[in-house]
Copies of this chain bind each other. A is one copy, B any other.
Amino acid sequence: MKCLVILVKVSTIGSHSSLQILHGAKMEGFQTSVITDTKREKFYQQFNFIDKVLAFKDIDEAVDLINSEEDSVLIPHGSLVEYLGQERVNKIKIKIYGNRNIFGWEGNQHKKMYLLKTSNIKIPQTFEKPEDVDRVVIVKLPGAKGGRGYFLAKNKQEVRQGIDDLIKKKEINSEEDVIIQEYIVGVPMYFQFFYSTLLQRTEIFGIDIRYETNIDGLRRLPQGYIDVEPTFIVVGNIPAVARESLLPKAQEFAESFVNNVKEKVPPGMIGPFCLESIVTDKGEIVVFEFSGRIVAGTNLYTNGSPYSWLYWNEPMSMGRRISRELKNAIINNKIDLVTT
Contact = CB atoms under 8 A, between A and B. Distances in A.
Interface of A: 15-20, 23, 27, 39-40, 42-43, 46-47, 49, 79, 136, 146, 152, 154, 183, 185-189, 201, 207, 209, 211-226, 228, 230-231, 233-248, 251, 278-281, 283, 296, 299-304, 306-307, 309-311, 313, 315
A185 B218 contact: yes
Given A299-B241, A303-B304, A235 B189 contact: yes
Contact of A309 (B23, B146, B218, B246): B23
A279 B209 CA distance: 17
A246 B240 contact: no
Choose among A27, A183, A313 the residue with the greatest number of B CB atoms under 10 Å from its CB.
Answer: A313
Contacts of A235: 187, 189, 242-243, 246, 279, 283
B201 A217 contact: no
B209 A186 contact: no
Contact of A183 (B79, B226, B283, B310): B226
B188 A244 contact: no
Contacts of A27: 313
A110 to B, nearest CB: 25
26 contacts: A17-B244, A19-B310, A27-B313, A43-B251, A136-B225, A185-B217, A186-B214, A187-B211, A189-B211, A213-B279, A213-B280, A214-B280, A216-B220, A217-B278, A223-B224, A233-B283, A235-B242, A235-B246, A236-B243, A237-B241, A239-B239, A243-B296, A299-B306, A302-B306, A303-B309, A309-B315
B189 A236 contact: yes
B187 A244 contact: no
Contacts of A237: 240-241
